[in-house]
């Protein structure tokens, strides 16, 4: 029997065989599956759920536009060869934004748009947001509580208040997730088999992973997702007046050029150095230009840009040739250095001229703690936000990274503190412009509402909300403003579209009256 088996094996060896390796492919490659878990895809999934509930069918084309390359306008540098730059941009087919606005405003005067029933639409939007928040709370409860522990009807959140950094630290140290969870953790048995002798030579970082687990890792800093939406409050127990803006004018010396609306638009080439060694124009989003226009700058004013870096809006404000003093502040040293480089690239002799030292003041301070004894005529608060377009397209420095969850959920609190401080810094009769690059009603109208409420209750400050829908209607031939049920109440929202791929940008103008 053994001999016959050996003979068969010899015959098989002598024969010609071709062995082929067969790979059974799945529908989706593992690398693609891993890629889909990165921060930008988490952001896209989050926005699909949240913005889908806010904007409905309008969200899909917005998302398509945000995943494409954004569009820019060119802000002409008055400290370079301005006339030559205007001629150069005009020959390339670009149009003057001021002229486009004037034409569109005249058109609206002859054919005024029909107003929509705002109150009914806003109540419908608020209802959808309430349903979304309720669903989030339900999901959070099921994730934290086990079925046998008994699920509460509502997850208890801490009161949403504007705390100082020291108070926030105290709250964090004393916070507990739930009594039931603490009891379960206290009764947990320590797995002594996982205790490792330090003499093994492991690093402290590696050793930490083997320490006896007496509580869930990370739960000490646990923040519910629904806390992010608690800023959408309904209470109106403070003076709140919304009136049309009547002082808006386009600055005479601000020269902005853009290509006409459409899908086949041309990108501006890279800026070039002028004879004066500065760049000829600065490319920026048209929504950012709108926030500078909303300041309604006047000659000789003292202006503060509270979160100025990287410096584009501050530079646009300087191009109006109107501010006597512009204070540019930012909490980040690296971003502040970047702002300084931009000023050196666009302002003649910025580092050596005494004129610039008196006119432009650079500051590195937490905007919540910024103080000033004189007061400002205008304050721009372009706050840190979820930077929706960046979050959907880039993994680097993405706020949706797992290690930045707590930071993201605390964004509305930070934004409200910054805006509340800005209302203290502006003089009575002066204006604060609040802006974000987010579509979120939480970070936009929600923050404005909470900051106005806090400013009144703590410092008796009263500010009037100025309706910018009239003045900014002149931009309707250049960019797309959100209308209908999803439109914000306190500000204007620039939404990205394929034809006009600017934004997202939210702009609200508040004038202090007390």
* CATH code assigned at 256: 3.40.50.150
Catalytic sites, residue numbers: 437
Q: How confident is the model at residue 110 (pLDDT cuts 50, 70, 90)?
A: confident
pLDDT for the residue numbered 203 = 40
The reply to whether 29 falls in a domain is: no
Question: Where do runs of H (alpha helix) occur along 177-332?
Answer: 179-186, 204-208, 286-293, 312-319
| Residues in CB range of 405: below 8 A, 6 or more apart | 223
- pTM here? 0.79
pLDDT digits (tens, 9 = 90+) for 20-54: 555 555 565 655 555 578 999 999 999 999 999 89
Segment of 147-151, 298-302, 477-481, 497-501 carrying the highest mean pLDDT: 298-302
The reply to whether 171 falls in a domain is: no
pLDDT digits (tens, 9 = 90+) for 321-342: 999 999 999 999 999 999 999 9
Cα separation, 408 vs 216, in Å, equals 21
Q: Mapping DSSP to helix (H, G, I), strand (E, B) and coil, where does residue 429 land?
A: strand
pLDDT for the residue numbered 207 = 36
The reply to whether 419 falls in a domain is: yes
- Burial of 138 per CB tally in 10 Å (0-12, 13-18, 19+): middle
Domain containing 473 equals: 51-125+234-512
pLDDT for the residue numbered 228 = 67
Tell me whether strands 302-305 and 376-382 are parallel, antiparallel or unpaired: parallel
The reply to whether 282 falls in a domain is: yes
pLDDT for the residue numbered 120 = 44
Decide if 426 contacts 375 (C-beta within 8 A): yes
pLDDT digits (tens, 9 = 90+) for 362-405: 999 999 999 999 999 999 999 999 999 999 999 999 999 999 98
Strand partners for 466: 243, 509
The reply to whether 86 falls in a domain is: yes
Q: Greater confidence, 5 or 504? A: 504
Average the pLDDT over each of 125-139, 240-254, 465-479, 496-510 and give the range with the smallest value.
Answer: 125-139
The reply to whether 24 falls in a domain is: no
Cα separation, 509 vs 490, in Å, equals 8
For the chain, the domain total comes to: 1
pLDDT digits (tens, 9 = 90+) for 164-207: 445 544 444 444 444 455 555 556 555 554 444 444 444 433 33
The answer to whether residue 424 scores a pLDDT higher than 80 is: yes
pLDDT for the residue numbered 202 = 40
Closest CA to 400 of 10, 6, 49, 144: 49
pLDDT digits (tens, 9 = 90+) for 443-464: 999 999 999 999 999 999 999 9
The reply to whether 160 falls in a domain is: no
The reply to whether 172 falls in a domain is: no
């Amino acid at each position: 029997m053994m001999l016959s088996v050996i003979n068969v094996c010899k015959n098989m060896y002598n024969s010609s065989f071709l062995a082929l390796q067969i790979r059974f492919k799945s529908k989706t490659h593992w690398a693609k599956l891993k890629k889909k878990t990165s921060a930008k895809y988490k952001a896209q999934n989050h926005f699909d759920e949240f913005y889908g509930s806010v904007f409905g069918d309008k969200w899909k084309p917005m998302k398509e536009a945000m995943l494409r390359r954004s569009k820019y306008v060119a802000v002409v540098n008055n400290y370079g060869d301005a006339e030559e730059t205007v001629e150069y941009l005009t020959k390339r087919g670009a149009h003057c934004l001021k002229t486009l606005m004037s034409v569109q405003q005249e058109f609206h005067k002859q054919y005024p748009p029909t107003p929509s029933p705002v109150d009914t639409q806003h109540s419908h939007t608020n209802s959808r947001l309430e349903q979304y928040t309720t669903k989030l709370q339900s999901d959070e409860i099921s994730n934290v509580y086990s079925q046998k522990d008994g699920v509460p009807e509502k997850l208890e959140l801490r009161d949403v208040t504007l705390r100082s950094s020291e108070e926030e630290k105290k709250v964090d140290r004393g916070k507990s997730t739930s009594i039931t969870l603490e009891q379960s953790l206290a009764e947990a048995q320590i797995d002594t088999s996982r205790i490792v002798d330090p003499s093994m030579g492991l690093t402290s970082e590696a050793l930490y992973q083997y320490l006896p687990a007496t509580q869930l890792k990370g739960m000490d800093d646990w923040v519910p997702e629904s806390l992010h939406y608690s800023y959408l409050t309904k209470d109106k127990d403070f003076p709140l007046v919304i009136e049309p803006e009547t002082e808006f004018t386009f600055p005479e010396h601000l020269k902005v050029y853009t290509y006409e609306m459409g899908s086949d638009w041309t990108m501006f080439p890279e800026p070039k150095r002028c004879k004066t060694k500065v760049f000829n124009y600065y490319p920026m989003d048209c929504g950012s230009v709108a926030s500078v226009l909303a300041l309604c700058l006047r000659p000789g004013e003292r202006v503060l840009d509270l979160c100025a870096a990287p410096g584009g809006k501050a530079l646009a404000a300087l191009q109006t040739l109107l501010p006597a003093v512009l204070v540019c502040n930012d909490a980040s040293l690296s971003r502040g250095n970047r702002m300084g480089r931009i000023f050196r690239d666009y302002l003649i002799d910025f580092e050596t001229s005494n004129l610039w030292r008196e006119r432009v003041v650079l500051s590195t301070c937490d905007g919540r703690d910024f103080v000033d004894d004189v007061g400002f005529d205008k304050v721009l608060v372009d706050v840190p936000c979820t930077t929706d377009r960046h979050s959907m397209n880039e993994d680097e420095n993405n706020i949706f990274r797992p290690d930045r969850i707590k930071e993201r959920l605390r964004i509305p609190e930070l934004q409200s503190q910054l805006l509340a401080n800005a209302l203290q810094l502006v003089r009575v009769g002066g204006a604060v412009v609040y802006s974000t690059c987010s579509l979120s009603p939480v970070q936009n109208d929600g923050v404005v509402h909470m900051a106005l409420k806090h400013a009144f209750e703590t410092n008796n400050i009263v500010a009037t909300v100025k309706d910018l829908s009239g003045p900014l209607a002149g931009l309707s031939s250049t960019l797309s403003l959100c209308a209908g049920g999803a439109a914000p109440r306190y500000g204007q929202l620039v939404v990205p579209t394929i034809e006009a791929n600017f934004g997202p940008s939210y702009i609200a103008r508040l004038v202090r009256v007390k």
